[in-house]
């Protein structure tokens, strides 16, 4: 879901950069020094997952894991995702520096939204928590697709068909991300419950 350079209008780029800066500042303010290793590992997981692309028409599908990032990190997901996207842009030319802000917002904003939207379910044991974990992973992809589509359409109506294709192509990714987030959540609940402490803060 990386948007490439030279596609978006200056107004959209500026808006994305501003929102990303605000989100990163909030995330850094909430970052606990002791949580830095965990944040680094999750940022690395996001970095690696996004590198594996499956071409579908004019778009490339890949795992994102932003729902999982939101579930585990809350606002701290914003700087973690920003760092991963920056490294991808510098090392592999995915996205680019001018669109870094927009790409950060399209990935990180859904992570934060899902953290607050499903935290209530995730705090409850059993089926509600499982439903919340799946919904967190799937909804984050849906919201990211909608934000990418909105960024493209805001730039020009010529991108409306591409935006619709992006949304349609990511439906199976939503399901896969939901299942992966569910299994990782259940695993952490049994093996490393301390990683879920942010849900109860």
Average pLDDT across each block of 10 residues of the chain; the chain has 201 residues. List them in order.
81 94 96 88 87 58 85 94 93 87 95 94 88 95 90 77 75 89 92 81 63
Domain ranges, ordered by start, for the chain: 10-198
Q: Which token pair is 167?
A: 């949304």
- Name residues whose C-beta falls within 8 Å of residue 125's C-beta, 6 or more positions apart in sequence: none
Alpha helices in the chain (DSSP H): 10-30, 36-49, 66-73, 77-92, 100-122, 127-155, 160-169, 171-191
Length of the chain: 201
pTM of the model: 0.88
What's the pLDDT score for residue 184?
93
From the CB of residue 28, how many other CB atoms can be counted at a distance below 10 Å? 13
Could you confirm whether domain 10-198 is CATH 3.10.310.10? no
What's the pLDDT score for residue 158?
67
What's the pLDDT score for residue 35?
86
Phi, psi of 70 (to 5 degrees): -65, -40
């Amino acid at each position: 879901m990386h948007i490439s350079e030279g596609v978006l209008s200056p107004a959209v780029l500026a808006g994305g950069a501003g929102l990303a800066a605000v989100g990163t500042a909030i995330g850094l303010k909430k970052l606990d020094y002791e949580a830095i290793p965990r944040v680094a590992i999750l940022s690395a997981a996001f970095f690696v997952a996004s590198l594996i692309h499956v071409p579908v028409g004019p778009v490339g599908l890949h795992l994102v894991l932003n729902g999982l990032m939101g579930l585990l990190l809350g606002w701290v997901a914003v700087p973690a995702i920003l760092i991963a996207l920056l490294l991808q842009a510098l090392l592999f030319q995915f996205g680019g520096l001018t669109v870094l802000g927009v790409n950060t917002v399209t990935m990180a904003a859904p992570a934060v939204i899902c953290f607050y939207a499903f935290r209530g379910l995730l705090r409850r044991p059993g089926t509600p928590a499982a439903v919340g974990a799946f919904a967190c992973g799937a909804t984050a992809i849906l919201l990211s697709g909608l934000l990418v589509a909105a960024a493209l359409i805001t730039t020009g109506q010529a991108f409306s068909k591409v935006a619709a294709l992006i949304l349609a192509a990511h439906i199976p990714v939503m399901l896969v991300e939901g299942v992966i987030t569910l299994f990782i959540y259940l695993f952490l609940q049994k093996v490393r419950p301390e990683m879920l402490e942010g849900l109860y803060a």
